[in-house]
Structure 1
Amino acid sequence: MHLTLSVRDGEFCGRVQFEDVVYKIKTKAKGSINAKQSERAILKGISGAVLPGEMLAMLGPSGSGKTTLLTTLGGRIRRVGNNLDGSITYNGRPFSNSLKRNMGFVTQDDVLYPHLTVTETLVYTALLRLPSTLSRQTKVEQADAVIAQLGLAACRNSIIGGPLVRGISGGERKRVSIGQEVLINPSLLLLDEPTSGLDSTIAGRIVSTLWDLTKGGKTVVMTIHQPSSRLFYMFHKVLLLSDGNPIYYGKASDAMDYFARIGYAPTVAMNPADFLLDLANVTVMLAGISTDDAREDRASTKEALVSAYRNHLHGQVSEELSGISKQLKEYEPDKMATEWCTTWCEQFKVLLQRDLKERKHESFSGLKIAQVLLVALLAGFLWLHSGGHVQDQVGLLFFVVGFWSFYPVFQAIFTFPLERTMLTKERSSGMYRLSSYFAARMVADLPMELILPIIFVTITYWMGSLKPVAASFFTNLAVLLLSVLVAQGLGLALGALVMDLKAATTLASVLMLSFMLAGGYFVQNIPPFIAWIKYISLSYYAFKLQISSQYSPSDTYQCTPVMRCQVADFPSIKLVGFDHQGMALAALFLMLFLYRLVAYLGLMRVGVTG
């Protein structure tokens, strides 16, 4: 079955031109703190063009710059100062945000949700990336067509899997990644090492699928490390890079003849791709001289290859680019749609469904449920006979507040650092707005983050002999759930701002311990210069409201065998007091909003905005 997708209105034609592309990075000498930064050129004046119906393969050893060039062509490296020079156009136009939604980009690493099935992965992608003019049923049919086209029917109901979850094979995972991009029917498809780590049979099947796409007028550009000879001759064009320099650009079938003409021919019959890679590495026997016998031979050979390219091929490339430019002047490009493929509400709905399906395995894992239940039962048995003992009950209230301050923070810290790669991948392709992703994530977390605290409180409240009144129980529960959401927001903010798990968890530990120590239970006489910490402590406000759910200023307790005292005078209760309850509630709601706002701004700073 062959994939048949309708061309969308405004789709750009896949003519890609790049001329004298130079990319530099800043470097600093190792072991020297005060060393001045210098520039290192990763790409050194690379030119070429790919037309509809052509497949360009970029070859070269590791570190030659092929992935950097592919990323640049995909619009994922932006100009900052003079780091990027040269011209890159798509059908005569520069890169734009609307353009990226019409091109496909497959990264070397397969970034997929492990607990979704193959069908779910592709259907969710179709719902997000295909235009709103198509019905849901049509989008599902498009996903089914891609599954059939890429030979994934046998594993369509299997989960993707990951390092800790058994799922589909590496070759099937790679085809799912390609399928996510093929779904949008892109005019231009870029792939970074699509055959990496796969056996020759699976690699051949993937390249054959890509070659079939070019027969439909698509433009395919890929990096590939060491293809077989059969795959090599499937490429229409080859770009060979060595240390950022182009040493060959042209038809794959002409590559061996070109190098033979300039004096470099293999002494034995061999795979053309292997020979080209050996040339780029300068490690083969050339004209009877071993070029790796001495560093001077290597340098001179590399310079000879670069000079030969400039003398024999650079002019041809310039003529090809000039001819394409003249054709484009006669071609009036279609107006490209600048709006998103789907509405904000549609994005929110699909992302919410996907999050709920993916995250339920993590949030309701047996380990987490067992952890919460064991702590709840342990606390319940420890405070089983605490009724009437104010000291014990106040301690239980503060323990519950403390546990459900730490636990959500350290769960939420992992959210955005672990999803950063996925978020960057999907946002780089213009799949959805950052705001719709963030809103869906917040809503999806609500049932998963609140069910376990409800179970915890239900156990500890009644086993701990707290006030057996429905109003008190539900007030206690509501305050705890609010503090859980605040703590979760703090964890999200720290994770989004720092994006480094070790640093974020260290910072969270310091903050939460500071908040807890200033929460009004451990220290009664806090020095004035540091007492302000309690006003930013969620533990302080939550503890204050929890006390109010159990006691009133008129309540008394047995302070001595013959005397009853006012609860309001009990040291821990006196410190937090019964006044300003409205302010405490308002402070928690303010934190609930501010922490999430900080998390959102952190994602805008770190990730792709739009």
Structure 2
Amino acid sequence: MLHPDREDSVHGGSSNVLVCSRMESVKLQIDPPIISSSKSNVSPCSNNEIPDQDHSPPGQFSVLRASSHPVTLKFEDVTYSIKIESNGGSCLASSKRNQTRVLLNGVSGTARPGELLAMLGPSGSGKTTLLTALAGRLPGKFSGSVTYNGQPISSSVKRRIGFVTQDEVLYPHLTVLETLTYAALLRLPEKLTKAEKAEQAEMVIMELGLTRCRNSMIGGTLFRGVSGGERKRVSIGQEMLVNPSLLLLDEPTSGLDSTTAHRIVATLRWLARGGRTVVTTIHQPSSRLYRMFDEVLVLSEGCPIYGGKGSSVMDYFAAIGYVPAFNFMNPADFLLDLANGIAPDTRQDDQHELVGRAENADNQTSTKQFLISCYKKSVKKEEVERSSHDSIPAGRRNSPLRSSEEQWTTSWWLQFSVLLSRGLKERRHESFSGLRIFQVVSVSFLSGLLWWHCDTNHIQDQVGLLFFFSIFWGFFPMFNSIFAFPQERPMLIRERSSGMYRLSSYYFARTAGDLPMELILPTIFVTVTYWMGGLKPSLLTFSLTLLIILFNVLVSQSLGLALGAILMDVKQAATLSSVTMLVFLLVSGYYIQHIPAFLTWMKYTSFSHFSYKLLVGVQYPANEVYECGVGRQCRVRDFEGIKCLDIGNMMFDVAALGAMLVGFRILAYVALRVR
């Protein structure tokens, strides 16, 4: 896309491109309506086309409306390093030592409203690290400063930042329309109605050419969904919904064909023209993509070798003695060669014939060092010149961030209801999968057949069935729940970093959403096995048994959530939960009836122990008897396997389970909060 006020050539050559005359009449609309009053104003796109943003004024599309809060991003002398382990070439573990690797080294620059800044460089040059630092999401500390309108990062600033990562973080079982609609409901202000937010999502789908796949699932590793390019556009669309003041994108054109990549960058340029600050990393843009960049920052091994106008890059390098070998060479290719230390006057295929590899590496290193030193010498002069010409029109002047901006854009209840609805749609495929249903139903029928009509005279067998209830529905929910937070961690980090919702609304929505999914299967299991197993044919006893099992499921699930939230690693959480449940299994009172005195306290930490006691107490009242010999009847609670349980006030057992339920839930929430 070319703009009338842009140079036709980035290195002084004459232009061979004719600029369409109607581009001259395009006027930037500063305050267009948030939602169009009629969809007739939006040009319909075909199933696989993106509207041509090059010839459409920004006000025509809802997501291209002007930003009401321009943000000037300034970063100065940003330096960041990490520690890596090295064994120093020795096989001995004791010889390992920490080494420091510098990822960013004194990077400075400014991104202004209305401009598109592109960061170029080879792989490993630090582009993504710098972009993550600018978004306020870089782990650890870095030296230097990053300011937004002269202020440090804050929650209000984060809500104005749109950040699109290179790896798309999306829910696989949601459709494209559902993904964007839920994002609109969470991120758009509450003054808009639900219908207006849904219409906003529809407009984004049309503008990004996602009409054909609007009802297709995103997909994941286990099943195929939309294509990689469509996933990328969905990720960009999520950020375009909220009209961000600062839009950061990591490799937005990766996986896209040249035409789609051109239109995506054209959309980003128009977003910038609406008063936004747009910063993107891009690996190897074509020449027509490069022409759309207002500012360019080139990195080489974490150090800047150029920062300034994209149209002035060739003049700058020509001034220090680097001129491309071809007159019509793509400036991006020229810059990447320089960032890799390849001088333009030497061909790579000839180097293998003229010099050895060591000498070639030395030449590349010296070229990089020369470029870095030249940029350092010129950067102070450039900053002085920029500061003298740095003026913003009165209508677009940056305003200080007010404390009232700290409020959430949506209420707690709206966040809860939207997250609950989204969670139910996403996890229903997993919770009610055919494999899980088959697993529960098959085990229920098998156990029912094994304990087929076991009467009261077979106390040991009936007690074994009750113990199986408590153990099976202790293991099963726990091992399912430990995966919850570790698997959703990338999504939670991305959405929480964008200020989409409160952690409490997410946590309570997750808790409430699990209830119908986690309680239906144990209800089916107990209903089948209870009556097949010959337990007491009483509706009251059955109901109490079912309630105890469901209570046990909730406590077990709570422990699994807590372990997953604390460790945030599936393997570690699975290992720890296995050991924990093994201990609970041994101290529950079924296998070991006389636990040593110094280990008696362990059974009071086991929710399976309290659940097992409640099941036995409900099944066998104090006056229950059984036939213990010819013509003899004995009290069931005097049976050796039951007497050791010391069944007394069952309300204590209920209170103990309730305390564990609340305690584990609070522990899981606190673990998420401190991360």
What TM-score bracket applies, with the shorter chain setting the length?
A: over 0.9
Letter in 2 for 1:333: P
Give the Cα separation in 2 of the matches to 1:307 and 1:286.
20
Identity %: 55
Query: Deviation per CA, 1:377-403, whole angstroms, max 9, x where unpaired?
Result: 000010013122111110001011110
Return the offset for 1:14. Answer: 2.7
Please tell me whether residue 53 in structure 1 is matched to residue 114 in structure 2. yes
Q: Aligned in 2, Cα 1:332/1:216: closer, same or farther, shift over 3 Å?
A: closer
Query: Deviation per CA, 1:328-355, whole angstroms, max 9, x where unpaired?
Result: 9986536361100011111111111111
Q: Please point out which of 312, 331, 344 is paired with 2:412.
A: 344
Alignment of 1:99-118 (within 5 A): 99-118=157-176
Letter in 1 for 2:527: T
Secondary structure at the counterpart of residue 400 of structure 2 = coil
Deviation larger for 312-321 or 65-74? 312-321
Return the offset for 1:204. Answer: 2.0
Alignment of 1:392-431 (within 5 A): 392-431=461-500
Return the offset for 1:199. Answer: 2.6
Alignment of 1:70-109 (within 5 A): 70-77=131-138, 83-109=141-167
> Is the 1:266–1:286 Cα contact (8 Å) retained in structure 2?
yes
Q: 1:43 — aligned with what?
A: 104
Give the Cα separation in 2 of the matches to 1:549 and 1:371.
27
Q: Please point out which of 254, 257, 273 is paired with 1:215.
A: 273
Q: Please point out which of 357, 381, 401 is paired with 2:449.
A: 381
Q: Aligned in 2, Cα 1:342/1:116: closer, same or farther, shift over 3 Å?
A: same
Letter in 2 for 1:238: V
Return the offset for 1:321. Answer: 4.6
Give the root-mean-square deviation of aligned CA atoms: 2.3
Q: Aligned in 2, Cα 1:601/1:211: closer, same or farther, shift over 3 Å?
A: same
Secondary structure at the counterpart of residue 198 of structure 1 = coil
Q: Aligned in 2, Cα 1:227/1:7: closer, same or farther, shift over 3 Å?
A: closer
Q: 1:360 — aligned with what?
A: 428
Secondary structure at the counterpart of residue 153 of structure 1 = coil
Q: Aligned in 2, Cα 1:205/1:331: closer, same or farther, shift over 3 Å?
A: closer
Q: Aligned in 2, Cα 1:95/1:295: closer, same or farther, shift over 3 Å?
A: same
Query: Deviation per CA, 1:35-85, whole angstroms, max 9, x where unpaired?
Result: 66554432111111122221111011122111111111112137x6xx422
Q: 2:264 — aligned with what?
A: 206
Please tell me whether residue 452 in structure 1 is matched to residue 521 in structure 2. yes
Secondary structure at the counterpart of residue 618 of structure 2 = helix
Return the offset for 1:27. Answer: 4.0
Which runs of 5 or more residues in structure 1 are unaligned? none
Secondary structure at the counterpart of residue 572 of structure 1 = helix
> Is the 1:553–1:578 Cα contact (8 Å) retained in structure 2?
no
> Is the 2:188–2:197 Cα contact (8 Å) retained in structure 1?
yes
Please tell me whether residue 303 in structure 1 is matched to residue 369 in structure 2. yes
Return the offset for 1:529. Answer: 1.7
Give the Cα separation in 2 of the matches to 1:355 and 1:237.
41
Q: Aligned in 2, Cα 1:182/1:535: closer, same or farther, shift over 3 Å?
A: same
> Is the 1:5–1:185 Cα contact (8 Å) retained in structure 2?
yes
Which runs of 5 or more residues in structure 2 are unaligned? 1-41, 43-59
> Is the 1:48–1:317 Cα contact (8 Å) retained in structure 2?
no
Q: Aligned in 2, Cα 1:33/1:176: closer, same or farther, shift over 3 Å?
A: farther
> Is the 1:150–1:209 Cα contact (8 Å) retained in structure 2?
no
Give the Cα separation in 1 of the matches to 2:361 and 2:414.
60
Give the Cα separation in 1 of the matches to 2:224 and 2:399.
51
Please tell me whether residue 315 in structure 1 is matched to residue 381 in structure 2. yes
Please tell me whether residue 470 in structure 1 is matched to residue 539 in structure 2. yes
Return the offset for 1:534. Answer: 0.6
Please tell me whether residue 12 in structure 1 is matched to residue 69 in structure 2. yes
Secondary structure at the counterpart of residue 659 of structure 2 = helix
Return the offset for 1:144. Answer: 1.7
Return the offset for 1:538. Answer: 0.8
Secondary structure at the counterpart of residue 508 of structure 2 = helix
Alignment of 1:183-582 (within 5 A): 183-268=241-326, 270-284=329-343, 286=345, 290=351, 293-321=359-387, 323-324=389-390, 332-333=399-400, 335=402, 337-388=405-456, 389-582=458-651
Give the Cα separation in 2 of the matches to 1:501 and 1:301.
46
Q: 1:66 — aligned with what?
A: 127
Q: Aligned in 2, Cα 1:8/1:101: closer, same or farther, shift over 3 Å?
A: farther
Letter in 2 for 1:59: L
Return the offset for 1:110. Answer: 0.8
Give the Cα separation in 2 of the matches to 1:246 and 1:510.
52
Return the offset for 1:326. Answer: 9.4
Return the offset for 1:298. Answer: 2.4
Give the Cα separation in 1 of the matches to 2:151 and 2:159.
15
Letter in 2 for 1:21: V
Letter in 1 for 2:72: R
> Is the 2:78–2:144 Cα contact (8 Å) retained in structure 1?
yes
Deviation larger for 161-170 or 518-527? 161-170
> Is the 2:75–2:144 Cα contact (8 Å) retained in structure 1?
yes
Return the offset for 1:138. Answer: 1.7
> Is the 1:479–1:546 Cα contact (8 Å) retained in structure 2?
yes
Deviation larger for 363-372 or 21-30? 21-30
> Is the 2:338–2:344 Cα contact (8 Å) retained in structure 1?
no
Deviation larger for 472-481 or 164-173? 164-173
Q: Aligned in 2, Cα 1:6/1:304: closer, same or farther, shift over 3 Å?
A: closer
Q: 1:156 — aligned with what?
A: 214
| TM-score (norm. length: structure 2) | 0.85
Return the offset for 1:215. Answer: 2.7
> Is the 1:265–1:287 Cα contact (8 Å) retained in structure 2?
no
Q: Aligned in 2, Cα 1:190/1:332: closer, same or farther, shift over 3 Å?
A: closer
Secondary structure at the counterpart of residue 529 of structure 1 = helix
Letter in 1 for 2:117: L
Letter in 1 for 2:411: T
Secondary structure at the counterpart of residue 146 of structure 2 = strand
Q: Aligned in 2, Cα 1:315/1:33: closer, same or farther, shift over 3 Å?
A: farther
Give the Cα separation in 2 of the matches to 1:387 and 1:154.
62
Q: Aligned in 2, Cα 1:561/1:199: closer, same or farther, shift over 3 Å?
A: farther
Query: Deviation per CA, 1:214-261, whole angstroms, max 9, x where unpaired?
Result: 232222100111111221111111110011100011222222332233
Count of residues in correspondence between the two structures:
602
Give the Cα separation in 2 of the matches to 1:287 and 1:398.
79
> Is the 2:73–2:148 Cα contact (8 Å) retained in structure 1?
yes
Secondary structure at the counterpart of residue 590 of structure 2 = coil
Give the Cα separation in 2 of the matches to 1:285 and 1:50.
29
Give the Cα separation in 1 of the matches to 2:531 and 2:66.
61
| TM-score (norm. length: structure 1) | 0.94
Return the offset for 1:358. Answer: 1.0
